[in-house]
Structure 1
Amino acid sequence: MSTLDVARKDFLDVRRAKVIWLIGGLYAAIMALFLYFGQTGVSNPNVRNALGGLTGIGAVFIPLIALVAAYLAIAGERESGGIKYLLSIPNSRRDVVLGKFLSRTAIVAAAIVVAFLVGAVLTLVWYPSLEADVFVGIASLTVLYALTYVAVAIGISATTASRSRAMGGAIGFFFVTNVLNLFGPFRFAIEYLFNDLAGLGISNMQVMFVQVLLSPTAAYVRSTPLAYSADSVSDIYPWFLQPEVMVAVMLAWLVVPIALGCWRFERADLG
């Protein structure tokens, strides 16, 4: 077998997982509500406003879809003993990590794309214009954002030997980089660490850059002006906080956790 064989088998095993499609369906329902209320009682509704609100909700909600879909991909197999069968076919350990990543990526991306397709249909019904370039831009950034959390979940799953540890790692990562990031404490902690403790005196913009480096959520939120072609962004923020750089940060979050997961899983004692 190969990476693609592992991905195909895993996809067939988990594609009917109700919890993944339930959360994906809930996201589609939230999208429908935002689009509905965005045009209710408005003489000239603009889909950009609804998508802006949806981005904020998606920043919290999307990681849940990704983490639930992927955090047990390898750790669950190790705890059940199924990993020994999977490796005896034979597959390399790298094939397992990459194959699991590809299959969970396909499932999560499909759930989000379906939600946006539903949203596009509703937009055509309720709004004067779909503004396809903006819609596709937000959808693309959202899929990329979701896949960063799939990568993190697979990386965590590859480095843990039990379901409980994988769950704890996924919850901890989500809480620190998402909840604390969106509600302030994450940034305050960075300022305290670099300025108060280390005495580096880094600027507010540099603190923001450290924040996006350490949080896919921060990178996603700051990447969304790219979908709106917001020229004003370049006048406000330095180059390292431009939306294009945020996309590069998310791509790094896509690659690094998988690389680390492969490295750790190659060296793991599977008993």
Structure 2
Amino acid sequence: MSVLSVAKKDFLDIRRSKSVWIVSGLYALLVVFLFYLGRSGTSEPNVASQLSALASVGLPFIPIIALMMVYLAIAGERESGSIRYLLSLPNTRRDIVLGKYLSRGAVGASVILAAFGVGAVTAVLWYPSLEPTVFAGVAGLTVLLTLAYVSVAIGISAATGSRSRAMAGSIGFYIVSTLMMLLPTFSIVAALKYVLNGRLELGLSDHLFEFLRMLSPTIAFRKAFPLVVPSDIETFMTNGDPSAPAYLAPEVALVILVAWLVVPAVFGLWQFNRADLG
């Protein structure tokens, strides 16, 4: 077997999962619901505004979709013992990690693109213009966010040896990187700011702490959003302060988001290579 063989087998397995179909359907329904609401109460419904609303309302759900589909990809096989069967074939540990990453990433991207496909149909039917450039940009950025959390989940799954640890790691990462970051006053960054500026009185710049928040894939997605929406959509213009330094620019946020596609999976592979599977 090889990376592609592992990916093909895993893709066939995961596509039969009821949870994948359920979350796919729910996200597609959310897309339709928001586009339906967007055409009500206004004579000139705007696709870009609804895409911004979708990104805002749907943002907490994207990581859930990715983490649910992926967190047991390797940890589940290690706990059941089937990982030894995979390794008894001409597979390396690298083949397993990369193959699982490719298959789960393909499923996650397909879920998002299918939902946006439904959204495109409703936009054509209900809105004056599809605004295809904006639509494609938001869809692509959302796929990047999904793949970032697929990478995180693969990394956690590869680095842990049991279902319970993989679940705990995924839930913990979701809380820290998404829920707490979307509520910045309750985040780790806020606690760090309180200690460094409030208690130690170091007087560090607010921009520095905002950059630390941007290291979260969820916040990096929000910061990169101005790259794909018109400038008059202010909901996500999070770098609108003219005094903000260059490291808070949307382009930097996009680079951070892309880095999340690689770093967690590489870390998971490194830990998986060191693990005793006997």
Q: Which TM-score band applies after superposition, normalised by the shorter structure?
A: over 0.9
Is 1:263 aligned to 2:262, yes or no? no
May I ask how many residue pairs the two structures share in their alignment?
Answer: 270
- 8 Å contact from structure 2 (residues 38, 45) kept in 1: yes
* Structure 1 residues not aligned, in runs of 5+: none
- 8 Å contact from structure 2 (residues 226, 250) kept in 1: yes
Distance between the aligned counterparts of 1:36 and 1:102, measured in 2? 34
| Paired letter, 1:265 | F
In structure 2, the partner of 1:203 is 205
3-state SS in 2 of match to 1:165: helix
Distance between the aligned counterparts of 1:79 and 1:120, measured in 2? 42
Worse overlay, 240-249 or 74-83: 240-249
3-state SS in 1 of match to 2:60: helix
| Paired letter, 2:248 | L
Distance between the aligned counterparts of 1:241 and 1:89, measured in 2? 47
Distance between the aligned counterparts of 1:200 and 1:7, measured in 2? 50
- 1:56, distance to aligned residue in structure 2 (A): 1.0
1:18-167 correspondence runs (5 A): 18-167=18-167
RMSD (Å), alpha carbons: 1.5
Distance between the aligned counterparts of 1:86 and 1:195, measured in 2? 52
Worse overlay, 13-22 or 142-151: 13-22
Distance between the aligned counterparts of 1:202 and 1:235, measured in 2? 18
Distance between the aligned counterparts of 2:202 and 2:5, measured in 1? 50
3-state SS in 2 of match to 1:12: helix
In structure 2, the partner of 1:192 is 194
| Paired letter, 2:68 | V
- 1:9, distance to aligned residue in structure 2 (A): 0.9
Distance between the aligned counterparts of 1:143 and 1:107, measured in 2? 11
Task: Using structure 1 for the length normalisation, give the TM-score.
Answer: 0.96
* Structure 2 residues not aligned, in runs of 5+: none
In structure 2, the partner of 1:175 is 175
Distance between the aligned counterparts of 2:195 and 2:150, measured in 1? 29
Distance between the aligned counterparts of 1:64 and 1:149, measured in 2? 9
| Paired letter, 2:276 | D
| Paired letter, 1:109 | A
Is 1:240 aligned to 2:241, yes or no? no
- 1:235, distance to aligned residue in structure 2 (A): 5.9
Against the structure 1 CA distance between its residues 189 and 40, is the aligned structure 2 distance closer, same or farther, given a 3 Å change threshold?
same
3-state SS in 2 of match to 1:224: helix
Per-residue deviation, residues 30-82 of structure 1 (Å, max 9, x unmatched):
11111010111211111111111111122100001000010000000000101
- 1:200, distance to aligned residue in structure 2 (A): 3.9
In structure 2, the partner of 1:216 is 217
Distance between the aligned counterparts of 2:117 and 2:111, measured in 1? 10
Distance between the aligned counterparts of 1:161 and 1:115, measured in 2? 33
Q: % of aligned pairs identical?
A: 53
Per-residue deviation, residues 107-148 of structure 1 (Å, max 9, x unmatched):
000000000000001001111011111111100000000111
Against the structure 1 CA distance between its residues 176 and 18, is the aligned structure 2 distance closer, same or farther, given a 3 Å change threshold?
same
- 1:178, distance to aligned residue in structure 2 (A): 0.5
- 8 Å contact from structure 2 (residues 48, 230) kept in 1: no
| Paired letter, 1:93 | R
